[in-house]
Each structure stands twice: as structure tokens, then as C-alpha cells.
Amino acid sequence: MPPTISRLALAAFALSVSILSAQPALAAVACGSGNFDAWLADFKTDAAAKGISQQAIASGLAGVTLDQSVLNRDRSQKVFSQTFEEFSGRMVPPRVQRGSNMMKQYGSVLSRIEQAYGVPGEVLVAIWGLETDFGVNTGKFATIRSLATLAYDCRRSEQFRAELMDALRIIQRGDLAPADMKGAWAGELGQTQFMPSSWMKYAVDFDGNGKRDLLHNAPDVLASTANYLASYGWQRGKDWQPGSPNFAVLQQWNKSEVYSKTVAYFATQLAHAP
């Protein structure tokens, strides 16, 4: 990141050009430095330099503190160990009836989405059901706090620093207010669990109300999920079973083969539901 004009001015008095080119005068506060507040202050400066408004920075980061429970969860993640039979057997049967009802309730919306993006409603509803029980369980962690915590931690600092920047851009764009940004512990937001970077790239205002709202607005949720899959190469009118090109797209949604197979299986169940 290029230094701001004020930093350059300070550095010019302190160091020669040759030293400046070799080493920045004011280094960023390192991740895990032991001083979260200093790190956050430095992050705010960086966000402003990247074009994020002071209003979005102030409203988004006001009072943000480290969340130890997020770090504990990040460090205790278990590798996905269930078989497809175990996972699909637990996740799909309790959701088929509700999924079928959702197919009927949002039939016209899903039809328009498939026309626009080529992704069938069965696939979108299957993802919706597996991710959050059709929007019932979107998570209760404060998204900005979770992302700031993970960005400060050194394990995946750069990844989550970028996600925190995009979370502020969501605020700046007017999609969500900071108080509404609650989701999973690692920063996933909305009824199909988009990371902020995916929200910025793929969220669409499908109902035309002026906001991309993946927390409360089902048409936006479903269309944005379709846009995500289409952007990764979903082939209109083609199969989604394992081995097909569209199954490879599902694996861009979730790298776990067991999870992707469960989405495909659930979608097929919905396609055959009365």
C-alpha cells in the first residue's frame, strides 16, 4: 500500500530517499502484536487509504474488541470426517418437506432466476436448506468483530484483513447497517453464508428495492447464490451429479466432496418431490 501524503511528508524529514525506498518509515502494526487497539487504529488508516469512507469506518469499527471465543473456535476446528451416507442421512430427510414447500412458495422467483442465471431452483433451495435451514439459523456472531479478531490473529491474517475491508464496503454501499451484520463465527453472512468478498462480487438486488440484502430478502439470497454458481461456470440445462461439470462448480461453493454430494443428492430429491 502506498503511504499517505502525510506519512510521506513525515518520512521526508526523518529519512533519506534511499532509506525510504529500502524500509517504510512507519511500519504497519503487526498481527498478534499484543495491542489490538493499536492494530485496529492502523487498520482504520489503511481502510481510509483504500477509499473506504470515514463514516463506514467509524460506524463499522466503533467499539470493536477482540473475541476470544472466535479464536477458540478457529483453533479447535475438526476436519470434516463424516461419510456422505452419515452426513446426507442426517441433513437431507428432515429438510425435504420444507424444501419442497419453498420450491412452491418461491416458484415464480426461482423460475426467473433460472432464466437469468441458468441454475435450477432445486440446487439453490438445497444449498439454502443445508446452509441455514432456509434462513432460520444464520448465526449470531457480530460479523465485524469476528473478522477483526481473525485479521488480528496471525494464522490467516491477510485473508481476513481483506474480508474485513469488504465488510466495511458492504456498509459503505448501504447494503447493511453494522448492527445487522450478524452471522457465523468466521464472518459468513446471510441465508446462504457469503463471506464479505463473495457478497461484494456476487450479491444482486433481484427484487429491485435498491439493496442487496442476503440476510432478510429471499429473492436476493437465491439470485445471488445463482450468480455465484454461474460465475464459476454453471452449465445451463446440464446435470449436477458427481462427475459432471456442474458438480465441479458445486465444489467451488464448498470444497468438501461430502458436502457437495449432499447438495446434489438433496437437489435431486427436490426435483422428484411431488
Is residue 21, in this structure, part of any structural domain at all?
no
- Amino acid found at 106: Y
pLDDT band at 79 (very low <50, low <70, confident <90, very high): low
Number of domains in the chain: 1
Is the pLDDT at 19 greater than 60, yes or no?
no
Element (DSSP H or E) covering residue 145: helix 143-152
Model pTM?
0.87
Average pLDDT, the chain: 90
Quote the CA–CA distance of 113 and 107 in Å, as a whole number.
10
Instruction: Pick the more confident residue, 130 or 15.
Output: 130
Residue-wise pLDDT for 110-121, tens only, equals: 999 999 999 999
Quote the CA–CA distance of 122 and 138 in Å, as a whole number.
20
- Which pLDDT score is estimated for 28? 72
Is residue 190, in this structure, part of any structural domain at all?
yes
Q: Which residues are catalytic?
A: 131
Is residue 134, in this structure, part of any structural domain at all?
yes
Domain with 255 in it:
34-273
Is residue 97, in this structure, part of any structural domain at all?
yes
Specify burial of residue 64 (Cβ count, 10 A radius: 0-12, 13-18, 19+): buried
Is residue 115, in this structure, part of any structural domain at all?
yes
Is residue 60, in this structure, part of any structural domain at all?
yes
- Asked whether the beta carbons of 228 and 222 are under 8 A apart, the reply is no
Question: Averaged over 92-98, what is the pLDDT?
Answer: 97
